[in-house]
Chain A
């Protein structure tokens, strides 16, 4: 047989025929390969399109529900299955349940109604029913025939709707199943690996949508809550208050009230113990107030709605409560008293027991308010009144308070300007030694000389500068000015015992962490010998943080500065630890001296203080001696140092020379001690 046989040879024709068949078969095979490839390509493309659609929708749609709804529809369309549904996993009080949602894709609603109704009634535990099983395992389940599985609880309704096969998928966030989606169809369908993979990927997208929603919710929560105490913040409080005010306009019979709570002495605690301790205290206070508010049965008993109180932290140590449904303003007073009571026990901060209390102002809707700002302002004003009247109490707002608050605000504004314009002057009151009959030093006293020439005394403005913090700037100025004067006096009038200068240090000044450094640099700047400076602090300063007080005083002592307790006997001080402080003198408050002639008690107090001072080795300086008999009496009791009008009023710097040039006023030689 030749390879090059002629085609008309019958044998070769057969071979050509075979070759034709081979070629045809080869073509068919090639076509099959291509068809398979094309089909896969098509499927991949469709899958990608589905994923892309869902991913785009996820990014665009505003809510998780929209995203789910779209994904259900798109997957049903892709699978050509008539029904898709979603469940959300919800955890309440530690119990995790699967709740059917109203999220459906249904092609033939009428036919699917039995199944839909049965599904929406579901409230499943983890592990219960098809979605529960998926939730438990975190894996997809495919049922080619729903009738064949005992755990499928909706057999009857599935049959009624003509459902045969189903599959369910977890929507995962990490390990957590956040939702379950399920699909059903009327034909029996075998598990489809490609489809399982695709829906798995869709599940990831949906999981991200839930995660994003959660992050958004968290942001919204964070934006409306105080990060420290987790209480509602100012903006949320104002929102709620505005709602209640709007309700009040429609329905004025329902009364409401705002409580403005300010912690007493918080600024000093914060300044002296540090911000961390302050934050800790605020957190604990928040808890106690919240519990006290929740536990309030006064309101609950009167009204069906037990939770009508919103506690918020406005900032700093300011808390507010909105009582949105009270019967009478006295309800608000009862709540305020309860809140105050909740703070009565000491707090433990940094291992130390700390006492605080709250001044609470109340404004109620009975005064008629149009805006949240107005009712909040009045509650604040009432709080201020509570503070002025002695703290740890509550006050209901009235109109007189408003006028006083306006005055105070004007004063504050003027004081700020006064500090800027240096409208302050120092007057100096001599301190006399009865033993040497000489002026031994001066106390610097601040005066405010208004632009119109009026002289204002510190009792009218020191308190407000202390409250506003203006005292820090003012106090610093006073210290520098007094040291400068003292330095000049010491140069001009050299003595064996140099003239001293006493300067008052307020609680907030004392709480400054850099107090010692400020004093050191002021002394350096003015050239005053530290021994010439006497700082006066009140008893209240010493009780806040005994450890810090002791260490600050020790540093000042080391520096050479002398320390006195001012107004001694008027405040609370722990005598037990007074002896441990490096003090030099006690100043007897002028109120005792003023009454010592008429009031045996005052006299006894003076005697006690002097006994105490003697025991502790402290000097005694009596303040406020105005008449001869007081001086004589004090002298007879053994008091060496006196300060008061009897010898001299506080004078300005220019009058000091004259004071020092003349001998001190002599007492009547008879020296009557009876006033």
Chain B
């Protein structure tokens, strides 16, 4: 996993719970805490940080990940404003993931393993988002979508119709904008 994710996690944790909280998390996870955005670090290390946070906050790991995703977006928007300013809604932003955003991510972070999305429109106009990734971080995607909705000041609801964590072959989320 790319260092940018660890760095952002650090920023989010420090912002909400202070420096000490992050130090505690690192201690609990047995991590050095030396991350640069461009480096690649073991996925397992992120899992350990998530687990430590889950225990410290008494929150299921998926919830931690989702919360992190939501909080990460404002930081991404600050760091990479062009991706956000060219859109006016969560929906168009999400639809551009495969075509624009992930290719751009790969331009900077060589070897980044971005998930693959597929999109379909439901009969009622809701967006059906298929998610495939060996990391099974659908909760992160969920959090990102919520964070993006916050950015565009929209109300969205994301429902996991299918989930790899429930034994499905891939995840399917249903996004409704209110």
Contacts and interface: CB of A to CB of B under 8 A. Distances in A.
Interface of A: 17, 20, 27-28, 31-32, 34-35, 38-39, 42-43, 80
A32 B110 contact: no
Residue with the greatest number of chain B CB neighbours at <10 A, chosen from A32, A34, A35, A38: A35
B113 interface: no
B77 interface: no
Given A38-B38, A38-B107, 19 more contacts: A20-B19, A27-B36, A28-B7, A31-B4, A31-B7, A31-B37, A31-B38, A32-B79, A34-B37, A35-B37, A38-B108, A38-B110, A39-B108, A42-B106, A42-B107, A42-B108, A42-B110, A43-B107, A80-B103
A35 B76 CA distance: 14
21 contacts: A17-B19, A20-B19, A27-B36, A28-B79, A31-B4, A31-B36, A31-B37, A32-B79, A34-B37, A34-B38, A35-B37, A35-B108, A38-B38, A38-B107, A38-B108, A38-B109, A38-B110, A39-B107, A39-B108, A42-B108, A42-B110
Interface string B100-114: 000110111110000
Nearest to B36: A31
A127 to B, nearest CB: 34
Contacts of A32: 79
A28 B10 CA distance: 13
The size bracket of the interface on B is: 10 to 19
A42 B109 CA distance: 9
Contacts of B109: 38
B57 interface: no
A76 to B, nearest CB: 13
B62 to A, nearest CB: 28
Main secondary structure of the interface of B (DSSP, over half): helix
Contacts of A20: 19
Nearest to B100: A80
Contact of B99 (A34, A39, A43, A80): A80
Contacts of B110: 38, 42
B130 to A, nearest CB: 19
Interface in B64-80: 79
A30 to B, nearest CB: 8
A101 B57 CA distance: 65
Nearest to A185: B99
Nearest to B4: A31
A35 B37 CA distance: 9
A27 B99 CA distance: 30
Interface string B38-49: 100000000000
Interface in B20-62: 36-38
Contacts of B36: 27, 31
Contacts of B7: 28, 31
Contacts of B106: 42
A35 B79 CA distance: 11
A42 B108 CA distance: 7
A20 B22 CA distance: 13
A39 B108 CA distance: 5
B101 to A, nearest CB: 12
A115 B171 CA distance: 37
Contacts of A28: 7, 37, 79
A207 to B, nearest CB: 29
A251 B7 CA distance: 84
Nearest to B104: A39
A80 B106 CA distance: 14
Contacts of A27: 36
A50 to B, nearest CB: 14
Interface in B102-136: 103-104, 106-110
A172 B106 CA distance: 34
A241 B104 CA distance: 63
B38 A35 contact: yes
A32 B80 CA distance: 10
Interface in B88-108: 99, 103-104, 106-108
Nearest to A20: B19
A199 B79 CA distance: 30
